[in-house]
Structure 1
Amino acid sequence: MSRDTYYVTTPIYYPSDKLHIGHAYTTVAADTIARYKKMQGYDTMFLTGSDEHGQKIERKAQEAGKEPKEYVDQIVATFKDLWDKLDIDYDYFIRTTEERHEKVVQKIFKKLYDKGDIYKGNYEGWYCTPCEAFWTERQLEEENGEKVCPDCHRPVEWVEEESYFFKMSKYADRLLEHIKTHPEFIEPESRRNEMINFIENGLDDLSVSRTTFDWGVPVPIDEDHVIYVWIDALSNYITAIGYETDQEKFEHYWPADLHLVGKDILRFHTVIWPIILMALELDLPEQVFGHGWLLSETGKMSKSKGNVVDPVVLINDFGKDAIRYYLLREVAFGTDGKYSTEALIQRINSDLANDLGNLLNRTVSMVEQYFDSEIPKPGAEEAVDKELIDLAAQTKKEVEAEMEELKYTAALEKIWNFVRRTNKYIDQTTPWILAREEEKRERLKTVLYNLLESLRITAVMLKPFLIEAPYKMGEQLGQLAAIEAADWEAANWGALKTGVKVYNGEPMFPRIDLEEYFEKIESRKKENEIEKNEEVNDLDLVDIKDRITFEEFMDADIRVAEILEAEKIEGSNKLLKLKVDIGLEERQLVAGIAKHFAAEDVIGRKILIVANLEPATIFGVKSEGMILAASDPEGNMVLSTVSSDIANGSQVK
Structure 2
Amino acid sequence: MTYYVTTPIYYVNDAPHLGHAYTTVAADVLARWHRQRGEDVWFLTGTDEHGEKILRTAEANGVPPQVWADRLAEESWKPLWQHLGISHDDFIRTTQQRHTDRVREFFQDLYDNGRIRKGSYEGPYCVACEEYKLPGELIEAADGTLLCAIHKRPVDLLKEENYFFKLSEYGERLLAHYEANPRFVQPESARNEVVNFVRGGLQDLSVSRSTFDWGVKIPWDDDHVIYVWADALLNYATAVGYNENPEKFESTFPADVHLVGKDILRFHAIIWPAMLMANGLPLPGRIAANGWLMVGGEKMSKSNLTGIRPQDLTAHFGVDAYRWYFLRAIAFGQDGSFSWEDFTARYTSELANDYGNLASRVTVMIGRYCGGTLPEATAAGEAERAVREGLARTVAEADRRIGDELDFQGGILAVFDFVKQVNGYLTEQEPWKVAKEDSPEAEARLATILYTAAESLRAITVLLAPIMPETSQQLWGSLGAEASLGRLPDQRIQETADWGRLPAGTTVTKGAVLFPRLEEKPTV
Q: In the TM superposition, what is the alpha-carbon distance from 1:172 to its structure 2 partner?
A: 1.1
**Structure 1 residues 550-565: aligned runs within 5 Å:** none
Distance 1:341 1:74 in 2: 31
- Find the structure with the greater CA-based Rg: 1
Q: 2:19 aligns with which of 18, 22, 25?
A: 22
Higher relative contact order structure (alpha carbons within 8 Å, sequence separation ≥ 6): 2
Residue of structure 1 in register with 2:408 after alignment: 408
**Structure 1 residues 65-76: aligned runs within 5 Å:** 65-76=62-73
Distance 2:376 2:114 in 1: 73
Paired amino acid for 1:480: E
Distance 1:139 1:123 in 2: 17
Distance 2:29 2:344 in 1: 22
Distance 1:181 1:400 in 2: 25
Distance 2:139 2:331 in 1: 29
Distance 1:473 1:339 in 2: 28
Distance 1:8 1:57 in 2: 26
Q: In the TM superposition, what is the alpha-carbon distance from 1:152 to its structure 2 partner?
A: 2.0
Distance 2:295 2:512 in 1: 33
Paired amino acid for 1:422: V
Q: 1:511 aligns with which of 502, 517, 524?
A: 517
Paired amino acid for 2:409: T
Residue of structure 2 in register with 1:40 after alignment: 37
Distance 2:176 2:479 in 1: 54
Distance 2:134 2:185 in 1: 25
Given that residues 19 and 301 in structure 2 are in contact (C-alpha distance below 8 angstroms), is that contact kept between their aligned partners in structure 1? no
**Structure 1 residues 568-607: aligned runs within 5 Å:** none
Q: Where do 4+ consecutive residues of structure 1 move more than 4 Å?
A: none
Q: 2:46 aligns with which of 46, 49, 63?
A: 49
Residue of structure 2 in register with 1:83 after alignment: 81
Residue of structure 1 in register with 2:459 after alignment: 457
**Structure 1 residues 427-442: aligned runs within 5 Å:** 427-439=427-439, 440-442=442-444
Q: In the TM superposition, what is the alpha-carbon distance from 1:505 to its structure 2 partner?
A: 1.7
Q: In the TM superposition, what is the alpha-carbon distance from 1:304 to its structure 2 partner?
A: 2.7
Secondary structure of residue in 1 paired with 2:456: helix
Secondary structure of residue in 2 paired with 1:183: coil
Q: In the TM superposition, what is the alpha-carbon distance from 1:489 to its structure 2 partner?
A: 3.2
Given that residues 14 and 72 in structure 2 are in contact (C-alpha distance below 8 angstroms), is that contact kept between their aligned partners in structure 1? yes
Distance 1:303 1:93 in 2: 21
Residue of structure 1 in register with 2:200 after alignment: 201
Residue of structure 1 in register with 2:493 after alignment: 488
Given that residues 10 and 259 in structure 1 are in contact (C-alpha distance below 8 angstroms), is that contact kept between their aligned partners in structure 2? yes
Paired amino acid for 2:18: I
- Does residue 106 (structure 1) correspond to residue 104 (structure 2)? The answer is yes
Provide closer, same or farther for how the CA distance between residues 138 and 389 of structure 1 changes in structure 2, counting only shifts above 3 A: closer
Distance 2:511 2:177 in 1: 55
Structure 1 unpaired stretches of 5+: 526-653
Given that residues 330 and 336 in structure 2 are in contact (C-alpha distance below 8 angstroms), is that contact kept between their aligned partners in structure 1? yes
Given that residues 298 and 307 in structure 1 are in contact (C-alpha distance below 8 angstroms), is that contact kept between their aligned partners in structure 2? no
What is the Cα-based RMSD across aligned positions, in Å?
1.2
Given that residues 15 and 75 in structure 1 are in contact (C-alpha distance below 8 angstroms), is that contact kept between their aligned partners in structure 2? yes
Secondary structure of residue in 1 paired with 2:162: strand
Q: 2:119 aligns with which of 111, 118, 121?
A: 121
Secondary structure of residue in 2 paired with 1:289: strand
1:331-378 residue CA offsets vs partner (Å, 9 max, x unmatched): 011100001111111121111111011111111111111111111111
Distance 2:366 2:322 in 1: 31
Given that residues 48 and 90 in structure 1 are in contact (C-alpha distance below 8 angstroms), is that contact kept between their aligned partners in structure 2? yes
Residue of structure 1 in register with 2:296 after alignment: 297
**Structure 1 residues 3-402: aligned runs within 5 Å:** 4-77=1-74, 78-144=76-142, 145-402=144-401
Given that residues 471 and 480 in structure 1 are in contact (C-alpha distance below 8 angstroms), is that contact kept between their aligned partners in structure 2? no
Residue of structure 2 in register with 1:417 after alignment: 417
Q: In the TM superposition, what is the alpha-carbon distance from 1:410 to its structure 2 partner?
A: 0.8
1:221-279 residue CA offsets vs partner (Å, 9 max, x unmatched): 01111111132100000000001000111010112110000110001000100100000
Higher mean C-alpha deviation, range 190-199 or range 129-138: 129-138
Given that residues 457 and 490 in structure 1 are in contact (C-alpha distance below 8 angstroms), is that contact kept between their aligned partners in structure 2? no
**Structure 1 residues 612-631: aligned runs within 5 Å:** none
Distance 1:39 1:229 in 2: 36
Q: In the TM superposition, what is the alpha-carbon distance from 1:438 to its structure 2 partner?
A: 2.5
Q: In the TM superposition, what is the alpha-carbon distance from 1:478 to its structure 2 partner?
A: 1.3
1:554-579 residue CA offsets vs partner (Å, 9 max, x unmatched): xxxxxxxxxxxxxxxxxxxxxxxxxx
Distance 1:489 1:179 in 2: 31
Distance 1:414 1:285 in 2: 29
1:479-524 residue CA offsets vs partner (Å, 9 max, x unmatched): 13435231213412210122122111220101225xxx23x42xxx
Distance 1:303 1:392 in 2: 42
Distance 2:359 2:495 in 1: 19
Higher mean C-alpha deviation, range 265-274 or range 461-470: 461-470
Paired amino acid for 2:482: L
Distance 1:203 1:427 in 2: 62
Distance 2:394 2:134 in 1: 50
Given that residues 460 and 490 in structure 1 are in contact (C-alpha distance below 8 angstroms), is that contact kept between their aligned partners in structure 2? no
Residue of structure 1 in register with 2:450 after alignment: 448
Distance 1:480 1:402 in 2: 27
Residue of structure 2 in register with 1:608 after alignment: none
Distance 1:365 1:115 in 2: 70
Distance 1:35 1:150 in 2: 36
Q: In the TM superposition, what is the alpha-carbon distance from 1:298 to its structure 2 partner?
A: 4.2
Q: In the TM superposition, what is the alpha-carbon distance from 1:428 to its structure 2 partner?
A: 1.1
Residue of structure 2 in register with 1:475 after alignment: 477
Q: In the TM superposition, what is the alpha-carbon distance from 1:399 to its structure 2 partner?
A: 0.7
Secondary structure of residue in 1 paired with 2:427: helix
Q: In the TM superposition, what is the alpha-carbon distance from 1:153 to its structure 2 partner?
A: 2.4
Secondary structure of residue in 1 paired with 2:193: helix
Distance 2:463 2:180 in 1: 34
Q: In the TM superposition, what is the alpha-carbon distance from 1:119 to its structure 2 partner?
A: 1.1
Structure with the larger helix share: 2
Given that residues 352 and 515 in structure 2 are in contact (C-alpha distance below 8 angstroms), is that contact kept between their aligned partners in structure 1? yes
Count how many residue pairs are aligned between Structure 1 and Structure 2: 515
Secondary structure of residue in 2 paired with 1:213: coil
Given that residues 314 and 322 in structure 2 are in contact (C-alpha distance below 8 angstroms), is that contact kept between their aligned partners in structure 1? yes
1:531-585 residue CA offsets vs partner (Å, 9 max, x unmatched): xxxxxxxxxxxxxxxxxxxxxxxxxxxxxxxxxxxxxxxxxxxxxxxxxxxxxxx
